[in-house]
Amino acid sequence: MISFQIQNIKSCLAWLETCPHRFTITSMQGGFVHVKFFVSEESLSQYGDKENIPEIMEALNDTKIQT
């Protein structure tokens, strides 16, 4: 793996961490990261906006996705 790829993967993971939804990285091939997102039927509005991302992630981590 080339060192700039490592930095690009880290950047992608940092972006994914801002997602208020549960997700699973299913694979990585040919420079593509394949991600499945679980979009809950519950309202996210109760958690507020992006400033509350840690609280959102903690609340959503209570449910696990089965792949």
Q: Which residues of the chain have pLDDT under 50?
A: 64-67
CA dist list (Å): 13 to 6, 10, 26, 39, 45: 11, 5, 13, 18, 24
Pairing of the two strands 22-29 and 32-38:
antiparallel
pLDDT for position 4: 83
> Model-level pTM?
0.51
Which one-letter DSSP state was computed for residue 51? Answer: G
Q: Quote the CA–CA distance of 14 and 10 in Å, as a whole number.
A: 6
